[in-house]
Amino acid sequence: MKMPTETRLAPLPQLALADTALIEHDYADSHSLADELAAAVANDLSDAIATRGRALLGLAGGTTPRQFLLRLGNKRLDWAKVDVTLVDERWVAEDDPRSNTRLLQETLFQGMARAARFTSLYTPLLQPENAEDIIAARIRSLALPYDVIVLGMGADGHVASLFPGGDNLARALDLGSDRLVTAMRAPGASEPRMSLTLSTLLAADSLYLHIEGRTKREVLAQALAPGAHAAQWPVRGLMQRRGEPGRIYWCP
């Protein structure tokens, strides 16, 4: 994969990245970050299509990835051979303003990526706890593991919907489990969620963490510092990745 051009910025608290499963790439602004991240992800997807015939992509919602999703959706590749899911979903109707599915419809699927096949993590009428088996079956029907996963991070250190204090956080972080998804309710979440588990995330061939803002960079430094724990800072669970290192894409 083509490595991005790096722009070093003013010093911030150091990340504890020596001998770990993460590599940091810093950018001067969100525009250059979005361009480079979209190019890297598109390259990974093209490689997966060439190797496996299809590619599987997991994306984060929220406010941070909007520029990246718009750019990725306009990349020239064989989108008809790409399966797309979210890494987590708020348990709201898919036309709700807070729905991550709606975010993809407004961004990624406005471009050439509209030809991709989307698999939802939401199902109406059921509570998320009663829909886990349904959603897990949908994910299991895809060509696992994920070729690419792009995560965001909250100001509390959560990734996907693995929230500190979440009712199902312990089982979501359990790398000995074969569980693909879990329902999650947490003090930091405004509504119930459905999330991929940590083991599902870590199994991806390419893993990216996209964060913006100095505050989140400082949170990440705390989470990755020696002595921190994934139960307090779920993003720290990414340090358990094996194989190709994950990549942190950050701008102020």
Nearest to 101 by CA among 91, 111, 112: 91
CATH of the domain at 177: 3.40.50.1360
Task: Point out which residues pair with 83 in neighbouring strands.
Answer: 56, 117
pLDDT at 4: 45
16 domain-assigned? no
The answer to the question of residue 194 being in a domain is yes
121 within domain boundaries: yes
Asked if residue 153 is part of any domain, the answer here is yes
pLDDT at 9: 41
Tell me, yes or no, whether 50 lies in a domain: yes
Query: b/e map of 219-232 (b: 16 or more CB within 10 Å)?
Result: bbebbbeeebebee
Cα 177 to Cα 38, 151, 166, 171, 189, distances in angstroms: 32, 21, 17, 8, 24
* Structural domain includes residue 221: yes
Number of domains in the chain: 1
- State the pTM of this model: 0.93
Residue 43 belongs to some domain of the structure: yes
Domain presence at residue 17: no
- What's the rounded Cα separation, in Å, for the pair 127 and 112? 33
Q: How far apart are CA 173 and CA 197, in angstroms?
A: 7
**Domain range for residue 56?**
39-246
- Edge-to-edge strands of the sheet including 55-59? 22-26, 246-251, 206-212, 148-151, 55-59, 82-86, 117-118
Residue percentage of the chain with pLDDT more than 90: 89
pLDDT (tens place) for every residue of the chain, 252 residues total: 444 444 444 456 778 776 678 999 999 999 999 999 999 999 999 999 999 999 999 999 999 999 999 999 999 999 999 999 999 999 999 999 999 999 999 999 999 999 999 999 999 989 999 999 999 999 999 999 999 999 999 999 999 999 999 999 999 999 999 999 999 999 999 999 999 999 999 999 999 999 999 999 999 999 999 899 999 999 999 999 988 899 999 999
